[in-house]
């Protein structure tokens, strides 16, 4: 089983860039399923029906998210509609709309996707992602899956690495998202779990994590609150990883980066 996972899709530029590379990706690596992190779809902050529909037209199988999932008013409806294919971090407190886990058919097999969020350097105060994962792995539906992919939306590489080792051998992959910066540590851990600290993003290359440089620079130089504007043209980087999984053992046999650059006027 081959799963292609794209990092955070940032705004219009990210959506256009994803659309430009998706055909080549399908033809070159022939994935059985495609997952994207979509929490930044709507101008970098949240998801709307319109932006979600734009990427679902590309036949994306599951959309994960993170701390920006509630930034748009439509988030409740989107999370409660099964056909939206959107999940949110499973370690949000009880009562938050939606689900943090979904299982989909992939040919004759099943794939489970779990979304978790970190707690280090994050403003949200969520439940423990480590213990939440333990609980989810006891679910009969998850136990019967042929592959388990975890999107760990977190800031600290130490927390991401720790979860990778904690889950090693129990899930097929722990894939970090959130920082928009692709890391060079993709590998299969000793017990068979594919790991990468951050997949990266689909967004503007020549800004600061997908936004125009002026806003972040002013903030760092003055310590004043500044407005961030998402890049909408120029060179876009598109970052993903491809995971090969043995459906009998649920262990990964390989993980490799899939990185592209495209120009958008």
Domains of the chain: 2-258 (3.60.21.10)
Annotated binding site: 8, 39-40, 67, 153, 178, 180
The pLDDT of residue 83: 79
pLDDT tens digits in sequence order for the chain, 265 residues long:
999 999 999 999 999 999 999 999 999 999 999 999 999 999 999 999 999 999 999 999 999 999 999 999 999 999 998 778 999 999 999 999 999 999 999 999 999 999 999 999 999 989 999 999 999 999 999 999 999 999 999 999 999 999 999 999 999 999 999 999 999 999 999 999 999 999 999 999 999 999 999 999 999 999 998 989 999 999 999 999 999 999 999 999 999 999 999 999 8
The pLDDT of residue 222: 97
Annotated binding site for Fe cation: 8, 39-40, 67, 153, 178, 180
Catalytic residues: 68
Distances (CA, A) of 237 to 86, 140, 176, 264: 23, 39, 17, 11
The pLDDT of residue 241: 98
pTM of the entire structure? 0.96
Contact 11, 233 (CB under 8 A): no
The pLDDT of residue 5: 98
Contact 66, 89 (CB under 8 A): yes
Cα 130 to chain centroid distance, Å, stands at 18
The pLDDT of residue 191: 98
């Amino acid at each position: 089983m081959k799963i292609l996972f794209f990092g955070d899709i940032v705004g219009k530029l990210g959506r256009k860039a994803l659309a430009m590379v998706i055909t080549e990706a399908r033809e070159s690596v022939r994935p059985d399923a495609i997952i994207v992190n979509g929490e930044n779809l709507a101008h970098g902050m949240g998801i709307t029906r319109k932006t979600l529909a734009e990427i679902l037209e590309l036949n994306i199988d599951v959309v994960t998210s993170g701390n920006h999932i509630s930034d748009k008013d439509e988030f409740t409806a989107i999370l409660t509609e099964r056909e939206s294919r959107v999940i949110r971090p499973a370690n949000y407190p009880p009562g938050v709309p939606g689900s943090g886990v979904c299982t989909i058919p992939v040919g004759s097999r099943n794939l489970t996707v779990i979304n978790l969020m970190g707690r280090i350097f994050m403003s949200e105060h969520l439940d423990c992602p480590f213990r939440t994962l333990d609980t989810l792995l006891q679910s009969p539906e998850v136990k019967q899956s042929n592959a388990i992919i975890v999107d760990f939306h977190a800031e600290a590489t130490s927390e991401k690495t720790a979860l990778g080792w904690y889950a090693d051998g129990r899930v097929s992959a722990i894939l970090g998202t959130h920082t928009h910066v692709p890391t060079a540590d993709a590998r299969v851990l000793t017990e068979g779990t594919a790991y990468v600290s951050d997949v990266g993003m689909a967004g503007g290359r020549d800004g600061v994590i997908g936004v125009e440089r002026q806003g972040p620079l002013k903030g760092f130089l003055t310590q004043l609150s500044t407005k961030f504007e998402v890049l909408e043209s120029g060179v876009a980087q598109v970052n993903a990883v491809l995971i090969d999984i043995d459906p009998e053992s649920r262990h990964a046999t390989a993980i490799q980066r899939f990185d592209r650059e495209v120009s958008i006027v």
